[in-house]
Amino acid sequence: GQQVMQIPQYQHVQEGEDFTTYCNSSTTLSNIQWYKQRPGGHPVFLIQLVKSGEVKKQKRLTFQFGEAKKNSSLHITATQTTDVGTYFCAGGDSSYKLIFGSGTRLLVRP
Amino acid sequence: NAGVTQTPKFRILKIGQSMTLQCTQDMNHNYMYWYRQDPGMGLKLIYYSVGAGITDKGEVPNGYNVSRSTTEDFPLRLELAAPSQTSVYFCASSYPGQGLETQYFGPGTRLLVL
Protein backbone atom coordinates (compact mmCIF):
# COMPACT_ATOMS: atom_id res chain seq x y z
CA GLY A 1 0.00 0.00 0.00
CA GLN A 2 0.89 3.65 -0.17
CA GLN A 3 3.55 4.75 2.31
CA VAL A 4 4.75 8.18 3.32
CA MET A 5 8.18 8.41 4.91
CA GLN A 6 9.37 11.46 6.80
CA ILE A 7 12.84 12.38 8.01
CA PRO A 8 14.39 13.21 10.34
CA GLN A 9 12.49 11.75 13.27
CA TYR A 10 13.85 14.40 15.66
CA GLN A 11 15.63 17.71 15.24
CA HIS A 12 17.03 19.74 18.12
CA VAL A 13 18.12 23.24 17.09
CA GLN A 14 19.32 26.41 18.72
CA GLU A 15 16.83 29.27 18.50
CA GLY A 16 17.61 31.21 15.34
CA GLU A 17 18.87 28.20 13.38
CA ASP A 18 17.03 26.86 10.36
CA PHE A 19 15.08 23.60 10.24
CA THR A 20 14.01 21.32 7.39
CA THR A 21 11.90 18.18 7.30
CA TYR A 22 11.52 15.95 4.25
CA CYS A 23 8.66 13.79 3.11
CA ASN A 24 8.71 11.01 0.49
CA SER A 25 5.82 9.00 -0.89
CA SER A 26 5.98 5.57 -2.48
CA THR A 27 3.35 6.68 -5.01
CA THR A 28 2.44 9.84 -6.90
CA LEU A 29 0.20 12.09 -4.84
CA SER A 30 -2.73 14.27 -5.84
CA ASN A 31 -1.80 16.72 -3.10
CA ILE A 32 0.28 16.98 0.04
CA GLN A 33 -0.71 18.66 3.26
CA TRP A 34 1.33 19.73 6.24
CA TYR A 35 0.11 19.75 9.82
CA LYS A 36 1.63 20.91 13.10
CA GLN A 37 0.93 19.23 16.42
CA ARG A 38 1.96 20.96 19.61
CA PRO A 39 2.87 18.72 22.57
CA GLY A 40 -0.34 17.30 24.02
CA GLY A 41 -2.42 18.87 21.26
CA HIS A 42 -4.09 17.86 18.06
CA PRO A 43 -2.87 18.25 14.47
CA VAL A 44 -3.56 21.65 12.97
CA PHE A 45 -3.57 22.25 9.24
CA LEU A 46 -0.78 24.44 7.89
CA ILE A 47 -0.96 24.25 4.11
CA GLN A 48 -1.86 22.19 1.06
CA LEU A 49 0.23 21.86 -2.11
CA VAL A 50 -1.35 20.57 -5.28
CA LYS A 51 0.75 21.50 -8.30
CA SER A 52 3.98 19.87 -9.42
CA GLY A 53 6.96 21.99 -8.31
CA GLU A 54 4.75 24.26 -6.23
CA VAL A 55 6.37 26.48 -3.59
CA LYS A 56 4.37 28.30 -0.94
CA LYS A 57 5.51 30.57 1.89
CA GLN A 58 3.94 31.44 5.21
CA LYS A 59 6.13 34.02 6.96
CA ARG A 60 9.23 32.00 8.00
CA LEU A 61 7.87 28.69 6.64
CA THR A 62 8.55 27.54 3.07
CA PHE A 63 6.81 24.50 1.62
CA GLN A 64 7.81 22.71 -1.58
CA PHE A 65 6.16 19.97 -3.63
CA GLY A 66 8.44 17.96 -5.90
CA GLU A 67 8.21 17.89 -9.67
CA ALA A 68 7.16 14.24 -9.64
CA LYS A 69 4.60 14.92 -6.86
CA LYS A 70 6.20 12.23 -4.70
CA ASN A 71 8.19 14.34 -2.27
CA SER A 72 7.86 17.52 -0.27
CA SER A 73 9.75 19.60 2.24
CA LEU A 74 9.08 22.14 4.95
CA HIS A 75 11.78 24.66 5.79
CA ILE A 76 11.64 27.02 8.76
CA THR A 77 13.99 29.99 8.73
CA ALA A 78 15.33 31.30 12.03
CA THR A 79 13.40 29.04 14.37
CA GLN A 80 11.65 30.41 17.42
CA THR A 81 10.53 28.63 20.59
CA THR A 82 6.96 28.91 19.33
CA ASP A 83 7.90 26.56 16.48
CA VAL A 84 8.25 23.65 18.90
CA GLY A 85 6.06 20.68 17.99
CA THR A 86 5.77 17.78 15.59
CA TYR A 87 5.38 18.49 11.90
CA PHE A 88 3.52 15.93 9.82
CA CYS A 89 3.20 15.65 6.10
CA ALA A 90 0.14 13.86 4.76
CA GLY A 91 -0.19 12.58 1.24
CA GLY A 92 -3.56 12.74 -0.43
CA ASP A 93 -4.87 10.49 -3.14
CA SER A 94 -8.01 10.90 -5.22
CA SER A 95 -10.18 9.29 -2.53
CA TYR A 96 -9.83 12.17 -0.01
CA LYS A 97 -7.97 9.90 2.40
CA LEU A 98 -4.69 11.09 3.83
CA ILE A 99 -1.66 8.93 4.58
CA PHE A 100 0.35 10.60 7.32
CA GLY A 101 4.09 10.47 7.66
CA SER A 102 5.56 9.58 11.04
CA GLY A 103 6.36 13.21 11.78
CA THR A 104 9.44 15.23 12.67
CA ARG A 105 9.63 16.44 16.22
CA LEU A 106 11.25 19.88 16.48
CA LEU A 107 12.83 21.00 19.75
CA VAL A 108 14.20 24.54 20.02
CA ARG A 109 16.79 25.56 22.61
CA PRO A 110 16.23 29.17 23.74
CA ASN B 1 -18.83 27.01 15.70
CA ALA B 2 -17.42 24.46 18.14
CA GLY B 3 -15.71 22.61 15.28
CA VAL B 4 -14.98 18.96 16.05
CA THR B 5 -15.71 17.80 19.58
CA GLN B 6 -14.79 14.47 21.15
CA THR B 7 -15.82 12.79 24.37
CA PRO B 8 -14.50 11.53 26.68
CA LYS B 9 -11.11 13.25 26.97
CA PHE B 10 -9.59 10.35 28.86
CA ARG B 11 -10.69 6.83 29.72
CA ILE B 12 -9.23 3.76 31.39
CA LEU B 13 -10.64 0.41 30.28
CA LYS B 14 -10.07 -3.09 31.51
CA ILE B 15 -9.23 -5.79 28.98
CA GLY B 16 -12.41 -7.09 27.37
CA GLN B 17 -14.54 -4.05 28.18
CA SER B 18 -16.36 -2.10 25.50
CA MET B 19 -16.82 1.59 24.94
CA THR B 20 -17.88 4.17 22.38
CA LEU B 21 -15.83 7.22 21.55
CA GLN B 22 -18.06 10.09 20.52
CA CYS B 23 -17.30 12.58 17.75
CA THR B 24 -19.48 15.48 16.62
CA GLN B 25 -18.85 18.26 14.12
CA ASP B 26 -20.97 21.34 13.49
CA MET B 27 -19.39 22.45 10.21
CA ASN B 28 -21.72 20.42 7.97
CA HIS B 29 -18.76 18.44 6.67
CA ASN B 30 -19.50 15.38 4.57
CA TYR B 31 -16.28 13.53 5.30
CA MET B 32 -15.31 12.27 8.72
CA TYR B 33 -12.34 10.20 9.88
CA TRP B 34 -11.05 8.29 12.88
CA TYR B 35 -7.30 8.05 13.50
CA ARG B 36 -5.20 6.56 16.24
CA GLN B 37 -1.83 7.92 17.28
CA ASP B 38 0.54 5.76 19.26
CA PRO B 39 3.25 7.49 21.33
CA GLY B 40 5.87 9.17 19.13
CA MET B 41 4.19 7.96 15.97
CA GLY B 42 2.12 9.34 13.15
CA LEU B 43 -1.61 8.95 12.63
CA LYS B 44 -3.13 5.76 11.34
CA LEU B 45 -6.55 5.83 9.68
CA ILE B 46 -9.03 3.47 11.33
CA TYR B 47 -12.30 4.20 9.51
CA TYR B 48 -13.72 6.99 7.44
CA SER B 49 -17.09 8.09 6.13
CA VAL B 50 -18.02 10.12 3.06
CA GLY B 51 -21.55 10.81 4.22
CA ALA B 52 -24.43 9.61 6.38
CA GLY B 53 -24.93 5.88 5.99
CA ILE B 54 -21.59 5.30 4.27
CA THR B 55 -18.45 4.05 6.03
CA ASP B 56 -15.26 2.36 4.90
CA LYS B 57 -12.17 0.79 6.43
CA GLY B 58 -8.85 2.54 6.71
CA GLU B 59 -5.41 1.11 7.42
CA VAL B 60 -6.08 -0.37 10.88
CA PRO B 61 -9.80 -1.24 11.28
CA ASN B 62 -9.51 -4.49 13.25
CA GLY B 63 -11.10 -4.30 16.68
CA TYR B 64 -13.21 -1.25 15.85
CA ASN B 65 -16.62 -0.46 14.40
CA VAL B 66 -18.25 2.77 13.27
CA SER B 67 -21.62 4.06 12.22
CA ARG B 68 -22.76 7.30 10.58
CA SER B 69 -26.47 7.88 11.02
CA THR B 70 -26.22 11.68 10.76
CA THR B 71 -23.91 14.17 9.09
CA GLU B 72 -22.82 15.50 12.47
CA ASP B 73 -21.96 12.33 14.40
CA PHE B 74 -19.39 9.60 13.80
CA PRO B 75 -18.98 7.35 16.86
CA LEU B 76 -16.20 4.76 17.14
CA ARG B 77 -16.94 1.53 18.96
CA LEU B 78 -14.40 -0.73 20.68
CA GLU B 79 -16.03 -4.08 21.41
CA LEU B 80 -13.37 -6.06 23.31
CA ALA B 81 -10.65 -3.72 24.49
CA ALA B 82 -7.06 -4.98 24.27
CA PRO B 83 -3.82 -3.41 25.55
CA SER B 84 -2.78 -2.87 21.92
CA GLN B 85 -5.62 -0.35 21.64
CA THR B 86 -4.00 1.97 24.15
CA SER B 87 -3.56 5.11 22.11
CA VAL B 88 -4.81 8.62 21.47
CA TYR B 89 -7.80 8.68 19.16
CA PHE B 90 -8.49 11.66 16.93
CA CYS B 91 -11.62 12.35 14.98
CA ALA B 92 -11.43 14.67 11.99
CA SER B 93 -13.75 16.10 9.37
CA SER B 94 -13.37 17.73 5.99
CA TYR B 95 -15.44 19.29 3.22
CA PRO B 96 -13.94 18.18 -0.07
CA GLY B 97 -14.36 20.65 -2.83
CA GLN B 98 -12.65 23.47 -4.62
CA GLY B 99 -9.42 21.48 -4.45
CA LEU B 100 -8.93 21.93 -0.73
CA GLU B 101 -9.37 18.94 1.54
CA THR B 102 -8.25 20.36 4.86
CA GLN B 103 -8.96 18.06 7.76
CA TYR B 104 -10.09 19.61 11.03
CA PHE B 105 -9.19 17.57 14.09
CA GLY B 106 -10.89 17.22 17.43
CA PRO B 107 -8.92 17.46 20.70
CA GLY B 108 -8.55 13.67 20.99
CA THR B 109 -9.48 10.92 23.43
CA ARG B 110 -6.69 9.29 25.41
CA LEU B 111 -7.45 5.63 26.02
CA LEU B 112 -5.56 3.34 28.37
CA VAL B 113 -6.38 -0.37 28.37
CA LEU B 114 -5.14 -2.33 31.36
Q: What is the pLDDT of residue B97?
A: 66
A34 has a chain B CB within 8 A of its CB: no
CA B4 to chain A, closest CA, distance in angstroms equals: 11
pLDDT surpasses 90 at B33: yes
pLDDT surpasses 70 at B100: no
Q: Do B42 and A97 touch (CB under 8 A)?
A: no
Number of A:B CB contacts under 8 A? Answer: 55
The pLDDT-based confidence of A2 (bands split at 50, 70, 90) is: confident
Q: What is the pLDDT of residue B10?
A: 97
Q: Do B59 and A31 touch (CB under 8 A)?
A: no
Of B48, B90, B99, the CB nearest to A42: B90
Task: Decide: B106 and B91 in contact? Cβ < 8 Å.
Answer: yes
Q: Work out the average pLDDT over B61-71.
A: 96
Q: What is the pLDDT of residue A52?
A: 96
DSSP per residue, B43-62: EEEEEEEEETTEEEE-S--T
Which positions in chain B touch A41 (Cβ < 8 Å)?
107
Q: What is the mean pLDDT of chain A?
A: 94
Rounded percentage of chain B residues whose pLDDT exceeds 90: 83
pLDDT surpasses 60 at B35: yes
Q: Work out the average pLDDT over A37-41.
A: 94
Task: Decide: B48 and B33 in contact? Cβ < 8 Å.
Answer: yes
The pLDDT-based confidence of A93 (bands split at 50, 70, 90) is: confident
CA A5 to chain B, closest CA, distance in angstroms equals: 10
Rounded percentage of chain A residues whose pLDDT exceeds 70: 98
Q: What is the pLDDT of residue A106?
A: 97
Q: Do B94 and A96 touch (CB under 8 A)?
A: yes
Q: Do A43 and B105 touch (CB under 8 A)?
A: yes
pLDDT tens readout for residues A55-88? 999 999 999 999 999 999 999 999 999 999 999 9
Q: What is the pLDDT of residue B47?
A: 96
CA B14 to chain A, closest CA, distance in angstroms equals: 24
Q: What is the pLDDT of residue B99?
A: 57
Q: What is the pLDDT of residue A108?
A: 97
Q: Do A88 and B42 touch (CB under 8 A)?
A: yes
A66 has a chain B CB within 8 A of its CB: no
The pLDDT-based confidence of B101 (bands split at 50, 70, 90) is: confident
The pLDDT-based confidence of B70 (bands split at 50, 70, 90) is: very high
The pairing of beta strand B10-13 with beta strand B109-113: parallel
Q: What is the DSSP letter of B38?
A: -
Q: What is the pLDDT of residue B40?
A: 82
Which positions in chain A touch B59 (Cβ < 8 Å)?
1, 99
Task: Decide: A44 and A61 in contact? Cβ < 8 Å.
Answer: no
Angle in degrees, CA B106, A38, A94, rounded to 5: 55
